[in-house]
A and B are shown apart, each in its own frame.
Chain A
Amino acid sequence: MNAGPTGSDRAAPTRPDGALARLALALERPRVLGALMLAPAVLYVVAFVAVPFFIAIALSMSDATVGDPQIDTFVGLDNFIAVVSQSGFRLALRNSLLITTLTVLILLVLATTAVELLARDFRGKRLVQVLFMIPWAMPVSLSAITWLWVLDSQYSPIDWVLVQIGLLGPGGTFGPSWNLFYLGREGLAIASIVLVDVWRTLPLATIIVLAGRLSIPRERLEQAQLDGAGFFRILFRIIIPALAPVLTVAILFTALLVIGEMSTIALLTRGGPGHSTQILPFWAYLKGINSGDLGQGAAIALFLFPVLLAAAIVALRFAYRAGRD
């Protein structure tokens, strides 16, 4: 203020002086500050979600290839019609839905069980918590090596145990072969993939559900105990109804994670035997990148989008409504 010698400046001492001060004042206005704080998120969504998504839609209706990725020729729904006739695609569609459904169902049971364990106090709880989170922290390549070994056609330790206890091998319940060939048989291969997907996503599901579980007031559970309810009555009548919103969120998150993820398949079976464990993202990759047909790849990748979007909206609505009650 000393620099402002004129009388009018002195007459208005509350008026901000200098650019910084005016900026500071502007920042105090909620609308300015809010817009500024939101900007990075909006930019992120536009740059990394919206733009790729619309490019994918445009690609799926074009004849773009990896050699000529320009989206310059509109072909309508041709790509969608073409992919439907591929047997690889039909199996991929079935498997994407089947594997995701099985994974999510098993996850629900395991996550709820795990949460009941982790919500209690016991010796070594910390250690168990850490062990529980390991799959989440483990690099995919490292876990893939482990799983490839566990499910190896010849050196699987599971097979070894089954042979040792006489269930496998000549005269065993599971047949004369010394191996079960987990990834070489359709049913076992799908089961193996579900197993690995469950293993991979259980920590996430557990964390989500645990947050919901810990927010149930302790008195409510004690009240139920005093009211004479046993473990299962408390679980099914008190805990699970209270968890409904977070379980919905957990289902949604893990389902989207599993249905959009191809690394498990890429590492374990690459879609085999035949196309019997093929899934949409991997088929999209084979067709779109490896075979060079970007248009078909995008069409395959987007195929389930309307279904997933509808499911996500319904699920979030339910979770919101249940959470408000």
Chain B
Amino acid sequence: MLYHSIRDRLLVLRGASLGLGAAFVLVLAPTTALAQNEPPDPEFRTSYGEMTFPEQFPDGTAISLTQWSHFVPRYDEWFQEYAQQWGEAHNVEVTVNMINLADLTSTLSASIAAEEGATVFEMVAPPTAFIDGLQSLADVNQAAAEAFGERSGTCERSSYLPATDTWYGFCHGWVPDPGDYRRSLWDDAGFPEGPVTYQDLLEGGAKIFEDNGLPVAVGMSPEIDSEFYARALIWSYGGSIQDEDGNVTFDSPEVLEAVRFQKELFENAMTPEVFSWNAASNNQTFIGGRASYIQNSISFYRSAQESAPEIAADTGFRPGLQGPGGEVKMPSHVWFIDVIPSYVTDPDELAAAKKFMLDLENNYASASYYSKFYNFPAFPSRSEQLFAEDGWLSDDPWGAEPPDKLGLLRTAEEWTAWLGYPGYANPAISEVYESHLLSSMMADVARGEKTPEEAIADTNAEIEEIFAKWRDRGMIGSGGD
């Protein structure tokens, strides 16, 4: 009681002093002296754009969040604490379930079928197949755009379906996917800055493989990293699965060139181990000192800083590799896409969930910081310290050596694409991704099972069929755009 009354008075004081303008600001954390580098205390607003929310929700309001266990454990710690704070501040009971990333789709699927479950699901990739069972979050997205300004392209194309003009999710953040190389090895091979182009990757990678027996470790197995590597390669070569309007464009000379390159790379600089990898294998191989180059988000680097400091110190990052035309496109490694299933109908619960989403975005500096800059904000304005010239990425507070090692990520938005690039994510694009068609195609060619031409023709046929199926259901196309 005493605590509450003191806190309330404190809030009133703060409210009075800051009570100008549209936003009513609450400061919850005890006002200890903040290190200059740390993110500001969370602030919870009562309005974003045209959406307004009560300060306190009626008694009994509860929301539950089902999300995946973060790769950076520090983030989950912070999130639990933050969600608790948020709940106390709003008189809302907040439950957070952290589950394995691989169980997200089945959990959401079961919840929709049963018409009960969590209020908010945080998905790792665009849940386009679920759209019919989800609420429109157009209001949240519009409010965020009004309140926060410019939105990252990869987030927009991973939460909006033009064919039905639906905002099916609210993407609060995304993760860049740089190229990661061993500096000493590439220096010895004559590439002091690491590989810049795919041609460099082949030449230098082959030389390192020959000299040291350490392979290029880009996967060709049915898992997320291999799928993304295949896409990065194809996009950088100028190919794509679909165009902006959702027409299949896979069977193209550009894709053929990319596939041929991969076969050559496998034959000269890789081992068959990449066929059996799971999503953690390339990190483990790299941290174990047995790979010259991988493509992965920085979470592996953060764990290497503790478990293998010498490898961490020897790690260099590239903003992806250039294709023959000089283009660089890397995927976003994962997204954080909040969705609310249709079965959530309680207006207080809905409003609280939406406010939670917007408040989280508003305080994204903390999310970025405590994820050790794994999470990038959907709205860059929400984490200015991250991108500032002498900000966190240029002077890493989590101990990167040299401190500007991650500086290249400041430009990540420029070289980051998305699942449906250059179009939007849609159920067909998701199915192509989930049924591992591209990694399997690469593996079939590398293993000599098929010629590049055959493999592309076969894969193209399957892609066409998947697109046709979802097009029949009205989920593909540019809609009213």
Which A residues fall within an 8 A CB radius of B? Answer: 63, 65-69, 82, 85-88, 151, 153-154, 177-179, 181-186, 189, 268-276, 283, 285-287, 289-293
Contacts and interface: CB of A to CB of B under 8 A. Distances in A.
Contacts of B439: 272
B5 interface: no
Given A67-B134, A291-B430, A272 B469 contact: no
B343 to A, nearest CB: 12
Contacts of A293: 129, 431, 469
A98 to B, nearest CB: 17
Contact of B274 (A184, A186, A270): A184
Contacts of A86: 435, 462, 465
Given A82-B465, A184-B273, A184-B274, A66 B281 contact: no
Contacts of A154: 273, 285, 288, 290
A293 B470 CA distance: 10
B4 interface: no
A88 B461 CA distance: 13
A67 B132 contact: yes
A157 B456 CA distance: 38
Interface residues of B, number: 50
A289 B276 contact: no
B109 A291 contact: no
Given A181-B276, A274-B443, A286-B435, A66 B221 contact: no
Interface of B: 105-106, 108-109, 112-113, 128-134, 213, 220-223, 271-278, 281, 285, 288, 290, 427, 430-431, 434-437, 439-441, 443-444, 447, 449, 458, 461-462, 465, 469, 473
A264 B281 CA distance: 18
Contacts of A88: 435-437, 440
B436 to A, nearest CB: 7
Of listed A151, A184, A289, residue having the most chain B CB within 10 A: A184
Chain B binding surface SS class: helix
Contact of A273 (B133, B435, B447, B469): B447
Contact of A270 (B222, B290, B430, B473): B222
13 contacts: A65-B427, A184-B271, A269-B276, A270-B222, A272-B221, A272-B277, A272-B439, A274-B443, A275-B440, A285-B106, A287-B435, A289-B105, A289-B109
B272 A69 contact: no
Nearest to A185: B272
A189 B129 contact: no
Of listed B223, B276, B430, residue having the most chain A CB within 10 A: B276
A181 B271 contact: yes
Contacts of A283: 435
Nearest to A270: B222
A185 B434 CA distance: 22
A290 B272 contact: no
Given A272-B222, A273-B221, A291-B434, A184 B276 contact: yes
B79 to A, nearest CB: 25
B272 A181 contact: yes
B133 A274 contact: no
A140 B37 CA distance: 45
B276 A292 contact: no
Nearest to B106: A289
A274 B462 CA distance: 14
B447 A186 contact: yes
A189 to B, nearest CB: 7
Contacts of B223: 270
B427 A292 contact: yes
A69 B112 contact: yes
B271 A67 contact: no
Of listed B273, B449, B461, B469, residue having the most chain A CB within 10 A: B273
A69 B115 CA distance: 10
Of listed A68, A285, A291, residue having the most chain B CB within 10 A: A291
Contacts of B221: 184, 269-270, 272-273
A67 B130 contact: yes
Nearest to B462: A86
B133 A68 contact: yes
Given A66-B108, A153-B281, A272-B443, A181 B275 contact: yes
Given A153-B271, A153-B276, 11 more contacts: A68-B133, A69-B113, A85-B461, A151-B276, A153-B281, A154-B290, A181-B272, A274-B444, A291-B430, A291-B431, A291-B435
Contacts of B275: 181, 183-185, 189, 272-274
